[in-house]
Chains A and B, each alone.
Chain A
Amino acid sequence: MNSPLDSTVLFQIGPVSITQAIVTTWAIMAILVIGAFALTRRLDLRPTRRQAALELMVATLDTQITETTGAVPTPYRGFIGTLFLFILVANWSSLVPGLDPPTAQLETDAALAVLVFMSVIWFGIRAGGVGGWLKTFAAPNPVMIPLNILQNLTRVFSMFVRLFGNVMSGVFVIGIVASLAGLLVPIPLMALDLLTGLVQAYIFAVLAMVFITSAVEDGTPKTDLPLKKKES
């Protein structure tokens, strides 16, 4: 049994090693994009069951974004929703025999964490400008600047490690049990892995949204509303 921590290199393009995780990611991308294109070709004012299901999914995502952050979901829908869908499908790709999920590899999870880190910066600067984003590090007072910088790094790192640890451990456990006990014994563990994959995708997406919203809210200049005089 190979170590799940090892990446299986399928071929090499220059200095870039194309691993199985990358190829699986491409396959997932293709499935998602082609499937989305096929599903959204004919959208009408009178929705079919398929369109209603798609709209329910988007509406649920918008509701989650709104309830979690209180923000308008439009700017974040594409990034957060894609993160959730990709991680979910990647986690559940472990059900395909002989296929390791891309999220069980360090590079994929680290890339996702780096994207979240960059998106926090991007949305923070877009909301309050560079100055406003930098001020978020001095909140609530400049003394907290080192701690805030450290927090920005560690929280992303924790996301990366959490996702990687959960998915990798699931694959690892299933591999051990399958090698020891036989073909049908890992099935309950695989079912549990489905749940774990869903929960991890949800947690990753929600945490990304929370971090982005935190940067947006802290960087937005606050206006002092004048006190209204009571008319006597």
Chain B
Amino acid sequence: MTLDWWGLGLQAINVLILVWLLSRVFWRPVAGAITRRQQAAQAMLDEGKTAQAKADAALAEVAEARAGIASERDAILVEAKAAADTVAKATLKDAQTKADSLIAAARTAIDRDRNTARKENAKRATELSVEIAARLLGRFNTPAVQATFLAQLVEAISGLSASDRVALIASADDIEIITATNPEDSERAKIERAVKDALDGTPNVRLVTDPSLIAGLELHSGHFVLHNSWRADLETILKEVENAA
């Protein structure tokens, strides 16, 4: 067994050439492909991280904007609440003013109605009093009262001026003597004679019965009325009371 040194050297050169060739055509290209893929993957990872960072930043921005919106909303709510309070206060004040004016108007109306009612009540009370007085006085329509009224009528006629009595006698109309009750003939004649005597003439006298007179004697002609009865007195009292109220 011998060692061929030329063969050894040639084989060494062959293997060296193989090492060089395979490094060129196999190991480096494949390792380069692996490296490129790793770099691409790393680039994608970096890109993903960048996108993640951008997304995080956008999320933070959105969160900040949301917080800003929330604070702005709170501020708007506070402002709206203040405005609503102001409006409510103004409305309340306005309503209070209106209510006060309404109350004042109502009080005025109540006072007016009260006064009106009081006046109405007073008027009705007066009327009722007059009516009661008329009924009571109706019970006292005695011959003595009637004689007193006749005397007062004669006195009133006598108190007229002469020209008035002449005009009354010269009147074309009949002179009506109004009585509350229908007097008897003697009484009727007495009344007619007393009136004619007071007038100092002979006018046409006609007696008319009017129960609303209560008591008394009144003289009515076409243009002349001489009141002399309790009805006239009560009407005078009623007018005076109403005027006093």
A-to-B contact residues, CB < 8 Å? 5, 7, 15-17, 19, 21-22, 25-26, 29, 32-33, 36-37, 39-40, 43-45, 47, 51, 54-55, 57-59, 62, 74, 77-79, 81-83, 85-86, 102, 105-108, 110-112, 114-115
Contact B21 A17 (CB under 8 A): no
Cα(A78)–Cα(B14), bound, Å:
15
State whether A43 and B30 are in contact (beta carbons under 8 Å apart), knowing that A32-B22, A78-B22 are contacts in the complex: yes
Q: Which of B31-39, B96-104, B162-170, B221-229 contacts A (4 or more CB under 8 A)?
A: B31-39
Contacts of B37 in A (CB 8 A): 45, 47
Q: Chain A: interface secondary structure? A: helix
Contacts of B31 in A (CB 8 A): 58, 62, 74, 77
Q: List 14 A-B contacts (CB under 8 A).
A: A22-B10, A29-B14, A32-B18, A32-B21, A36-B21, A39-B26, A40-B30, A45-B33, A51-B30, A55-B33, A81-B22, A86-B15, A102-B11, A115-B12
B14 touches A5 (CB 8 A): no
Q: A19-B4, A114-B12 are in contact. List 7 more A-B contacts (CB 8 A).
A: A21-B7, A33-B25, A43-B33, A82-B23, A102-B11, A115-B15, A115-B16
Note all chain A residues with C-beta closer than 8 A to B33: 43-45, 47, 51, 55
**Residues of B in contact with A (beta carbons under 8 Å apart):** 1, 3-4, 6-12, 14-19, 21-23, 25-34, 36-37, 40
Q: A36, B25: Cβ atoms under 8 Å?
A: yes
Closest residue to A44 on the B side, CB-wise?
Answer: B33
In the bound assembly, the distance between CA atoms of A22 and B4 in angstroms comes to 12
Could you say which residues of chain A place their CB within 8 Å of the CB of B18? 29, 32-33, 82, 86
**Set of chain A residues within 8 Å of B25, measured between Cβ atoms:** 33, 36-37, 40
In the complex the two chains form, what is the Cα distance from A50 to B92 in whole Å? 89
In the complex, A81→B12 CA distance in Å? Answer: 16
A16 touches which one: B10, B12, B22 (CB < 8 A)?
B10
- The residue of chain B having its C-beta at the shortest distance from the C-beta of A39 within the complex is B26
**Given A43-B29, A45-B40, A82-B14 contact (CB < 8 Å):** no
